[in-house]
Each structure stands twice: as structure tokens, then as C-alpha cells.
Amino acid sequence: MREGDAPGAGPVGSMKTKKLFNSWIIWVLVGVVAVVLFLPMVFGNNSAKVDTSVGLHQLTSGNVTEAKMFDGDQRVDLKLRDSLKVDGVDKGTSVSFYYSTARAELVVDEINKANLGKFTDQPVESNWLLSMLGIIIPFLLIAGIFWFILARSQGGGSKVMQFGKSKAKLITKDMPQVTFKDVAGADEAVEELHEIKEFLQEPAKFQALGAKIPKGVLLYGPPGTGKTLLAKAVAGEAAVPFYSISGSDFVEMFVGVGASRVRDLFEQAKTNSPAIIFVDEIDAVGRHRGAGIGGGNDEREQTLNQLLVEMDGFDATTNVILIAATNRPDVLDPALLRPGRFDRQIPVEAPDLKGREQILAVHVKGKPMDATVDLNAVAKKTPGYTGADLANVLNEAALLTARSNANLIDDRALDEAIDRVMAGPQKRTRLMDEHERKVTAYHEGGHALVAAAMNQTAPVTKITILPRGRALGYTMVVPESDKYSVTRNELLDQMAYAMGGRVAEEIVFHDPSTGASNDIEKATATARKMVTEYGMSEKVGAVRLAGSAAEQGMGTASRDFSDEMAHLVDQEVRELIEQAHNDAYQALMANRHVLDRLALALLERETLNQKEIAEIFSDLVKRDKREVWLSNEARPVHQEGPILSPKERAASSTD
């Protein structure tokens, strides 16, 4: 697999202006400027300032009636008989001048010589009000900055002192409602949650039989499978208060806030019971204790401890149910998962064929579909897709249809949407030279031919050499039905199929390219899992050697086997890869003429559908090899092959 209004004009400008005045920085600056301007007006000297020489001249000329000398400020305030004009500017009868320390004696002598009727010496003394303001104002400024920063982090000034208050959103009947009718492909989960709704609406019905209402329900599964949608459906169905919060909303930068928010959330729910609390991504606070930095003093662990206490604090008559969702149930603390806390753990997996068709039927509502579109066929083309993936496929198809100015979503738009979701958008600007196109054609042809020649692989439905995403081309292999387990022979054939592109390059060009790096990565990962997880190696045996997903997720996984065993594992992985390489080689050499025909067709048409591929593979030679697995030849075999099921016996008797 290879435009708008000028800046500041109209509503946009008014919004920017409003946003500017809402900024805390602006108000802090306004406060500082006000203080700087206000203090001199109240406590400063209002007399006109003149040069020292002018002031001394007024003393010697006899125009001064009163003098006041400020030793601390080195300033002299004068009262004059006649108004003073300096450079044509009238300074009035009250002036002041400053002097340096060296001129202090001269100034005193001139005042004494002036024989003033009144003069005053102002000694150095501190103004207590100014001193207090000088101390208080910096602290007020720091507190104001801290206040505004805190207000922004809490979402508004009205919540500044509400650190420990829960951030949970209360979903009411006035909000847009999602019901169980909007959920498809998760019938078992809907059934379980429907029972939870009945618990809350008719608790007496169950208490009469001695049944206790479950305290917690855990929804777990891969991303995009609809866990949050299920919780919204419960909120829409149940006529009770529904509090929704994310796991990360509990933990803040302040110690103890998480635990306080947990207490506040449960107090609100108990006050308004019966009620439902929904915590999305609970693994943010529910991970194994002792695995984080800080050990038992870690803020996240304090939050988890409080959550455990609150769940235990429910009594039999408290109709509050906690619903949580996570993608990683393996990393949750065991104390959180035990009965009495999360009594029910509901898997929400990727939908099967029927579920995918139901999900598609939900998402096509409101979209104009062509009459020829078969949702069942679309569901068959999307194995392993989650509800989010299928919603994305239909949305992409609608966008592509609008881009082409069409009115109805047809099969072509859906096929292109599936390709975009799976491999990314097509790169029309990436131009390959003729040799690189030929290498890509043989590479993808090798994948397809090996997949078709093997007995345990799914049918090839599409081949293309058009670059898409990070691949120069890709081969689509889609199983005819959903599979929930894979046999050893199927894994071997999958590895051969993965190596088919590399082997085709070796056979045709004798010079392999880097295009097979992802294929080798996939084949190696499969082989290593066969040896270390699936017990599909005779030499290693049925022993699990890989660390658990929880340990790997927390970074605590360690190798608990010897160097000799590690060497043996590497040997077995290499042997499996070599076997896959040899199987691909044998299949390609037996069908070299088909490979050339397929590569030529790809160079001419660039993309081949299932019908065109079937025509090219009309004289394909299938591999008849099937490896028989006997992990221990000395072990007695009581029966060759499985017994016939009742359905198989009925079919054989009919024949």
C-alpha cells in the first residue's frame, strides 16, 4: 500500500472591540495609569517650577514675602509680592525651585539675607499615607493580575473562588435530545442501558424483589464506536437529571481541587436523585495508582481515591448511577472495576455487517441518495469501520457530491469517500515517471496476485496505482463476512500477501525499492505476535512473552524471559517471514504471466475494480498448500478433524 469586511468594520470590528475591553491586561494598565496620574494631583506641589538661579534672584531682589524650605526634597517654595514672568510666561505669585546639596548653604544664606517676615524649615519626615500606598499598591497590582488570570482559567470572574465546584454540565429536557432510536449497531449495549433507565424510573419494581440498583456502568471499546452517544441516549431517554463531565475536568493545577470537585458533583447528584452522572474518558483519573509521578501523593490519585469513596458511599436508596466511558479499560485501577462500583462493564465494539448497515441507514437521513445505492454493499466494503468512520464516509460522500455540483449521492461518491477515509485524499499533483509507475504497478500486482492465489485470504476488490495519502498505490482486500478469530494458516497467508509486493519487485526488477517498508513492518508485527502472544511457534510453544497492554501503556513493561529465549523468538520470527517470502515467490512464479497482464492493465487504467480483476485472474493457479499444525507429534490424536455440527450433518444427508 503504497474574502470579507475591512478590519474593524461592522460586526467583526465591534466584536474585536468588545473582546479588547474584556481583556484583563487592558484594565490592569488603566489602573496603573490612573494611580500614577492621581497621586501627584493629590499629594504633589501645585506651584510653578522655576530654575534655581531665578529663585535665588527673587530672594535677592526683595520680591519674596514668604519662604518654605523642604530639606528632604531639597525644594524651596516662595510666595511673591509681584507676579513673576519668565520668558514671557506668567508663573504667578507661587513658585518653587530645587537645589543641590552643594548649594544648600548658599540658599540658606540668601533666605537669611532676605529678612523675610515668615519662613519655615520643613524637616525630613515621611508621609504615612504615601508610604502605605507605596506598599499596598504593588500588592494590589499583583493580586489583580492573579485574580484576572484565575478568572480566565475558571471561565469567568463569577467563578474565581469556585475551585472545588464541579464543572459538570446538567443536561435538561430543553436541550437537543438523543434517544436510543438514534443509536444503531450496539443492540446489546442499548439493552443493558435501557434496563438502567428502568431502574431509575421504577426503582420500587426492583427493590420489591430484593434487587439493588447498579452503582456504576462502564462503557469500553475502541474510539468512535459510540460510547458517548450511548450516554447521550440515556440522558435523552431518562427523565432524570443528567450530569456530564470529562475525566480531565477533575484535575487542576491546585492540589485537592479534583477531590473537592468529585465531592461537589456527587452531592449535587444526591440532592437531585434519581440522577445519572456521566464521566467521559475516565482513564484520565482512573489509572492504576502508584504508576504516576509522586506516588500516592499525586493529585490524580487523590481524585481517584475520592471517587472510590463516593461510589462506596451510596446507600441502597440513593438512586444515583455513574456511567463512565473509556478506550483503555486495561489501565484502570482494579478497585474501580470491582463489583459494587462498576457493577456492569459493557463492551462497545466495532459493528458487524448488520450493524454497519443500520448505522449507515441512520446517517443517510437528510441526505439525498441515488436510488441505485445499496447500503448493504457499502457495509460490506467497510469491515472494521466504527460508527464514527461510517459517519465520516457519508459526510465525505456528501462533500464530494456538492463539489461536483451533483444533486444525489451515488456509488462513485461513496467509493471515493471510502478510499479517502481509509488511505487519505488522492494526490493528483504527484507525478511519477514511467519507471516508478511500472514498479508501483508490479508491486500492487504482486500483493493482489498472492492474495488471490492463497486459500485463506479475502477476495481482492480493488487495485490502484494512484497516489493517495502516504501510499503510492494500494490493494483492497475485503472479507466476505465478519471474522472474530484468525487461524494460523490465515495469518501465514496474510504475511505472504504482505510480502507479495516486495517479492514481485525482486522477481521483475531484481532491485527492490523502499515502497515495501510498511509491508515488511506489518508482516514482522504479525510474525512476532504469532510467536510471543498467540503460541503459534513449535519451538517457543504456547507461552506468552509480550507485556500486557496496560504495562506498555504505563511504561512499566519489562522482559521476563532469558536472552536465549529472546534469540529463539528472533529466529522464529525470521523463519516465519522467510516462509511468507517463499510462499509469495512460489505463487508469483507459478502465475508470472498473470502478473504481467495485471501490471499492464494497471498501467493502462490505473484503477481496477473487482470484476476487472476477476477477468484477469481467470487462469490463476491457486496454491494448494495448507500447513498442518501439530505442536507435539507425541501427543495422542483421538480424532482426525472436527465433528460435524447438526447443520453440517443435515446438509450432508441432503446431498
Q: Pick from 121, 112, 42: which is nearest to 77 by CA?
A: 121
Contact predicate 505/512, CB 8 Å? yes
Query: Distances in Å between the alpha carbon of 139 and those of 135, 158, 160, 454?
Result: 7, 22, 18, 79
- Whether a cis peptide bond, with omega within 30° of 0, leads into 274 is yes
As a three-state string, the secondary structure of 553-581 is HHCCCCCCCCHHHHHHHHHHHHHHHHHHH
What does the angle CA 501 – CA 502 – CA 503 come to, to the nearest 5 degrees?
95
Task: Name the phi and psi angles at 415, rounded to 5.
Answer: -60, -45
Q: Which residues pair with 246 in a beta bridge?
A: 280
Q: Rounded to the nearest 10 degrees, what angle do helices 257-271 and 299-312 cross at?
A: 20
- Among residues 359, 141, 82, 36, which one has the least CA distance to residue 229? 359
Q: Where are the beta strands (DSSP E) in 418-516?
A: 460-464, 474-477
- 444 flagged as catalytic: yes
d(CA 579, CA 584): 9
Contact 239, 285 (CB under 8 A): no
Q: Are 346 and 324 in contact (CB under 8 A)?
A: no
Measured from the Cβ of residue 384, the count of other Cβ atoms closer than 10 Å reads 13
**Would you put residue 249 in left (φ > 0), alpha (ψ -120 to 50) or beta?**
alpha
Q: Tell me the three-class secondary structure of 232-297, residue by residue.
A: HHHHHHCCCCEEEEEHHHCCCCCCCHHHHHHHHHHHHHHHCCCEEEEEECHHHCCECCCCCCCHHH
DSSP 637: -
Comparing CA positions, the residue from 233, 253, 254 lying closest to residue 244 is 233
* C-beta of residue 337 within 8 angstroms of C-beta of residue 319: no
Joined grid coordinates for residue 315: 446507600
Please identify which of the residues 252, 396, 444, 505 carries the catalytic annotation.
444
What DSSP line would sit under 91-117, residue for residue? Answer: EEEEEEEE--GGGHHHHHHHHHHTT-S
- State the catalytic residues: 444
